[in-house]
Structure 1
């Protein structure tokens, strides 16, 4: 039984057939996905380009486009992937989402035994449902080709929840780093997110409320899973 962590989407192994994967883009893609599905969205299509997103949206006339590029809104068709704004709107059953890092990290994880969407909001729910599963790879989306500390922190929180229940689990050195990153600031979640590079960018853009929102540890129970191009809710409800 082993837990490993990769620090950016570009480090995702090519062969994940025996691995259970949890993808983290804490600020904000995976946190937004968890929120949308907790609020009733049934399926999300993660795109990796504007053209792909627009084509998928055209094929799904009642869907909503959500996206950003390099942390900026994509005008004029995409709603920003900000959970505090999105939950105020009427949400359709289907969403097409494009983000700089998170949706690409999800797509790169295709081929794993199981691909789950993680965040500070739902990490405990994932651990509780899948505690008996072995061989985990936690995928941090990162920022372009750089590590994003908030994703490492999120992976570390997941590890902490798992170790509470299975304390003899072996951690790779990268997983040890993630676990230590979380432990250093475990009681200061929002501050840790605010201090990150992405957090500072969001504050500068006026999105400070979204940081506080995604820092709500264990607030949600939905477990979105990705399979064959679609993120659905909830994996245990689908009998997988």
Structure 2
């Protein structure tokens, strides 16, 4: 029987305990929602980096027409980068490699690197990720990593984790830790109002303050994407493509 655990902040990741496990990273506002959106709309891959300097260095190795620099730090867009807002990027992502730097989500992906496999999940693609996990990792220990917000617990990531857990629980066969059970119960208690929950979070309030209410509405549309972002080398690609290439 597989097991599901939840880490409520990226700072709580225990690298030794992560080894050999399956990690699923959440940064619902906004990194993993952005990742899911651009891959769903035809991006070749997403390259998660730690900061703007690493992003520029990675871009220097590539043809400038093949990539896009996207990123923020502490909520402010990095100079010379595009905003990491999923609804604004979907039209320009096709055929591009997206070099993405964010304060929390891309850092959480890097901190999860000891895991055997790393997925990225949001509300947009939670059902697709759940299907992939229950199909190919039903006997594994799965660690859901909530990125958090600059070292603090984040409501939206915990809600996203609960959404994924509910989908996986429907398939049965997983033992839930107390944190995983709590995330599931929290999600079930307010699953009919995702936009309301996200808007009440600290980051959600910040987005509304700066006029990005449409982003909250966009990323609250659950289970509308079929892509399953998985880290392959240093790039996130659609898991379905990985399965085809390895078969």
Whether the aligned pair in 1 keeps the contact of 2:207 and 2:213 (CA below 8 Å) is: yes
Structure 1, residues 50-107: CA drift from partner, whole Å, max 9, x if none? 21111111111231100001111112x1000001111233544211110000000011
Whether the aligned pair in 1 keeps the contact of 2:42 and 2:93 (CA below 8 Å) is: no
| Matched residue count | 238
TM superposition outliers: structure 1 runs of 4+ over 6 Å:
none
CA distance in 2, matches of 1:80, 1:237: 32
Whether the aligned pair in 2 keeps the contact of 1:7 and 1:142 (CA below 8 Å) is: yes
Unpaired runs of 5+ residues, structure 2, are none
Structure 1 residues 223 and 170, CA gap change in structure 2 (3 angstroms): same
CA distance in 2, matches of 1:30, 1:110: 16
Equivalent of 2:77 in 70, 73, 77: 73
Structure 1, residues 89-139: CA drift from partner, whole Å, max 9, x if none? 354421111000000001111121210110111111111122141211000
Structure 1 residue 165 corresponds to structure 2 residue 171: yes
Structure 1 residue 199 corresponds to structure 2 residue 200: no
Equivalent of 2:111 in 104, 108, 111: 108
Structure 1 residue 149 corresponds to structure 2 residue 149: no
Whether the aligned pair in 2 keeps the contact of 1:110 and 1:227 (CA below 8 Å) is: no
Whether the aligned pair in 1 keeps the contact of 2:26 and 2:32 (CA below 8 Å) is: yes
Whether the aligned pair in 2 keeps the contact of 1:64 and 1:92 (CA below 8 Å) is: no
1:1-240 equivalence runs, <5 A:
1-15=2-16, 16-61=18-63, 62-75=66-79, 77-89=80-92, 91-132=94-135, 133=137, 134-166=140-172, 168-234=173-239, 235-239=242-246
**TM, length-normalised to structure 1:** 0.95
Greater per-residue helix proportion: 2
**TM, length-normalised to structure 2:** 0.92
**Segment drifting more, 147-156 vs 59-68:** 59-68
